[in-house]
């Protein structure tokens, strides 16, 4: 053993990082082995530097498990968020010129601000199979006609408003155009989509209106204003003119009596010009008044 150790050699203890220098004629008892504390400190330093152990990547089992748990939790959270944000069928494929109506005021304001633009009001219900089947084609037509405004009215959310507008069949469509107001209204399905396309081709051509956009009809506005379930106030046009026009002042003259008012009032005759009978009558009246009759 002493002869072997006397030769030049390099001592490596399990490749743990302590290489012995060249030993020349040294006995075994003089070899100084590293302690456990020194080994632990060297291992900690090696592990903390970029996760490598003597130039080799090291992954501990505990860290592997924690990393796997974090990845699994992140994927679960992503899946839950994806389910919560899943689009409903009437929200899929919407185009920039498609808008969902939030109430009666929103509908009236959208129609009044449309100008000469063609506006299509789409009444649908989430539980209507025909509405669901027709929705992709309506979105496709909206994409092909960006100059047409599409307004969506959810029947389930606005039942009272739909009752006031006499909408009882779904899917139902109404076309509005500028000063003309409502130009057509009909119900169609996926099988009768040609009716919708024909209405688009007929009322879409550019033309100037002769006045402000009409929007809903007067009777429909009155019905919406009278509906207690809606927060919509409307004053009929006749009442608006009466409120703006001040009431006429009461006239003192009666028709046909203007000449009488202009004539001078008769003056009482002097006492000397009165007849004897009149004087007697005056004296008699004075006597009656004096007696308290």
User: pLDDT band for position 200 (50/70/90)?
Assistant: very high
| Residue 14 falls in the annotated catalytic set | no
User: By the 8 A CB rule, do 159 and 129 touch?
Assistant: no
Out of 14, 128, 162, 184, the active site residue is 128
User: By the 8 A CB rule, do 186 and 121 touch?
Assistant: no
DSSP 223-240: HHHH-TTS------HHHH
Please give the pLDDT value at position 241: 54
Question: How far apart are alpha carbons 138 and 89 in whole angstroms?
Answer: 12
Least confident of 36-40, 66-70, 218-222: 36-40
Least confident of 138-147, 233-242, 262-271: 262-271
Percent pLDDT > 70 in the chain is: 51
Q: Residues 24-32: what's their mean pLDDT?
A: 47
User: By the 8 A CB rule, do 123 and 153 touch?
Assistant: yes
Question: How far apart are alpha carbons 154 and 151 in whole angstroms?
Answer: 10
More confident residue, 220 or 271: 220
CA atoms within 13 A on the CB side of 143: 10
User: Has residue 160 got a pLDDT over 80?
Assistant: yes
CB 15: neighbour CB atoms within 10 A? 8
Out of 9, 14, 131, 188, the active site residue is 131
Please give the pLDDT value at position 66: 65
User: Has residue 24 got a pLDDT over 90?
Assistant: no
Least confident of 13-17, 259-263, 273-277: 13-17
Q: What is the pLDDT of residues 131-148, one digit of tens each?
A: 999 999 999 999 999 999
Q: Residues 243-255: what's their mean pLDDT?
A: 55
Q: Residues 206-218: what's their mean pLDDT?
A: 84
More confident residue, 144 or 68: 144
Say which CATH topology domain 91-226 has: Glutaredoxin (3.40.30)
User: pLDDT band for position 79 (50/70/90)?
Assistant: low
Measured in degrees and rounded to the nearest 5, phi and psi for residue 265 equal -75, 145
Q: Residues 257-267: what's their mean pLDDT?
A: 54
More confident residue, 48 or 117: 117
More confident residue, 280 or 92: 92
Q: What average pLDDT does the chain have?
A: 74
Percent pLDDT > 90 in the chain is: 45
Which tokens in the block code for residue 20? Answer: 């012995």
Please give the pLDDT value at position 287: 45
Task: Kindly report the length of the chain.
Answer: 293
Question: How far apart are alpha carbons 108 and 101 in whole angstroms?
Answer: 10
* Domain boundaries defined on the chain: 91-226
Question: How far apart are alpha carbons 60 and 63 in whole angstroms?
Answer: 5
Please give the pLDDT value at position 20: 47
| Neighbour-count burial of 244, counting CB atoms closer than 10 A to its CB (0-12 exposed, 13-18 middle, 19+ buried) | exposed
| Residue 131 falls in the annotated catalytic set | yes
Q: Residues 260-274: what's their mean pLDDT?
A: 54
Q: Residues 151-163: what's their mean pLDDT?
A: 96
């Amino acid at each position: 053993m002493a002869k072997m150790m006397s030769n030049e050699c390099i001592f490596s203890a399990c490749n743990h990082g302590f290489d012995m220098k060249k030993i020349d004629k040294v006995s075994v008892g003089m070899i100084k082995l590293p302690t456990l504390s020194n080994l632990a400190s060297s291992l900690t330093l090696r592990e903390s530097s970029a996760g490598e152990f003597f130039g080799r990547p090291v992954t501990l089992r505990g860290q592997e498990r924690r990393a796997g748990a974090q990845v699994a939790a992140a994927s679960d959270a992503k899946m839950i968020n994806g389910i919560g944000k899943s689009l409903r069928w009437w929200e899929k494929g919407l185009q920039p010129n498609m808008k969902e109506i939030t109430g009666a005021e929103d509908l009236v304001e959208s129609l009044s601000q449309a100008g000469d633009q063609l506006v299509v009001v789409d009444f649908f219900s989430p539980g209507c199979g025909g509405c669901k089947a027709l929705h992709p084609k309506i979105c496709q037509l909206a994409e092909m006609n960006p100059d047409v405004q599409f307004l969506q009215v959810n029947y389930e959310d606005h039942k009272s408003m739909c009752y006031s507008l006499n909408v009882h069949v779904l899917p139902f469509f109404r076309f509005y155009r500028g000063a003309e107001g409502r130009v057509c209204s009909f119900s169609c399905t996926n099988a009768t989509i040609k009716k919708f396309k024909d209405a688009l081709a007929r009322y879409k051509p550019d033309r100037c209106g002769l006045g402000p956009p009409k929007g809903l009809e007067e009777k429909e506005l009155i019905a919406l204003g009278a509906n207690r379930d809606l927060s919509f106030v409307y004053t009929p046009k006749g009442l608006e003119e009466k409120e703006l026009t001040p009431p006429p002042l009461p006239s003192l003259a009666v028709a046909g009596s203007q000449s009488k008012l202009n004539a001078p009032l008769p003056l009482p005759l002097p006492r000397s010009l009165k007849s004897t009978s009149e004087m007697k009558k005056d004296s008699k009246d004075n006597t009656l008044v004096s007696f308290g009759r």
